[in-house]
Amino acid sequence: MGIIRKTQSVALLLDEFNTNSGAISVTTLNKRLNSNLNKSTIYRVLDKLEDDGVLHSFLGDNGIKWYAKCEGCSHDNHKDIHPHFQCVVCGKVDCLNVDIVVPKIPNREINSTEILIKGKCETCLN
Amino acid sequence: MGIIRKTQSVALLLDEFNTNSGAISVTTLNKRLNSNLNKSTIYRVLDKLEDDGVLHSFLGDNGIKWYAKCEGCSHDNHKDIHPHFQCVVCGKVDCLNVDIVVPKIPNREINSTEILIKGKCETCLN
DNA sequence: ATTATTAATGCAACTAAGTTGCAAATATAA
DNA sequence: TTATATTTGCAACTTAGTTGCATTAATAAT
């Protein structure tokens, strides 16, 4: 079940994603908002926003959860399956607007695919 | 730095990978071996075996670390970059012998790519 | 506008994965 | 057989994430 009431917590969290491009890790959100929001609240609201198709989540480098805004997703159709890119220098993560073809695999049914590409981002290249 | 001495711990852990096909999660190894080995030892030995190119590691569904035997890797050349498949029913994880083409991305340097495919495995399909 | 209802929040306590420092044990070299 | 240095176990710790419950605050009903 997703978001039902428009609360301060929801507004604060959504604001983070509206004022920043790219993905944000849960640990970063906790550090940024811990004076305003309890960590349980942060986890619960993010979970609901994902349910609603507003955010999508994925695992970054150390198994830490990241969230980013969805484009064209809904509750039962998370359709922007795209790779994520994590910079090994600055740690920043972005969604990549790239298609990667995952071949069919004999005798297996594919539900979803998570692709994490690691390397150096634009700003850290030089 | 990798393995230097041939200890009981190393033998016990390697045995797990020799008698089982597929990948094994750290949590499973801890459950299986906790009467023989301390968890610190398990983490440390796995780490060294990865350094030596005997095992490779990756993150499964919930950010839990999995290990599997390498084929043709060495300390400074982990060359079997392949996708991993995790069954959403039984939780089993296998290495897939499949090539997935990751396109070059403008203004970024790609170091590595982790691909986790989720779905139903052979045995859980029916 | 006031009250009633129920979702959302804060809090504290908890679980589980993973790490670390240090003393004791055990491979290997001398 | 002894010396040395790696490896191990242990206990204590860190951090991500979860849960139950009482309180707070949106929303609906009056």
Domain boundaries, chain B: 8-124
Residue type, A107: N
User: What's the pLDDT band for A41 if we cut at 50, 70, 90?
Assistant: very high
DSSP states of A33-68 as a string? Answer: HTTTS-HHHHHHHHHHHHHTTSEEEEE-TTS-EEEE
Query: Rounded mean pLDDT of chain A?
Result: 90
User: What's the pLDDT band for B85 if we cut at 50, 70, 90?
Assistant: very high
Q: Do A114 and B116 touch (CB under 8 A)?
A: yes
Q: Which fold has domain B8-124?
A: Arc Repressor Mutant, subunit A (1.10.10)
pLDDT > 90? residue A50: yes
Say which residue, B2 or B95, is predicted with more confidence: B95
Nucleic strand D within 7 A of Cβ B37: yes
Chain A 53-82 residues in 7 Å CB range of strand D: 63-65
Given this model, what pLDDT does residue B78 score? Answer: 57
Given this model, what pLDDT does residue A78 score? Answer: 57
**Do A59 and B64 meet the contact criterion of CB atoms below 8 Å apart?**
no
Q: Do A117 and B119 touch (CB under 8 A)?
A: no
Distances (CA, A) of B26 to A86, B34, B43, B88: 24, 11, 8, 18
Residue type, B120: K
What is the rounded distance in angstroms from the CA atom of residue B83 to the CA atom of residue B116?
6
Helix (H, G, I), strand (E, B) or coil at B55: strand
Q: Do A109 and B119 touch (CB under 8 A)?
A: yes
Closest to B125 measured CA to CA, from B98, B74, B88: B88
* pLDDT tens digits for range B49-83: 999 999 999 999 889 999 999 876 655 555 557 89
Chain B residues with beta carbon closer than 8 angstroms to that of A78: none
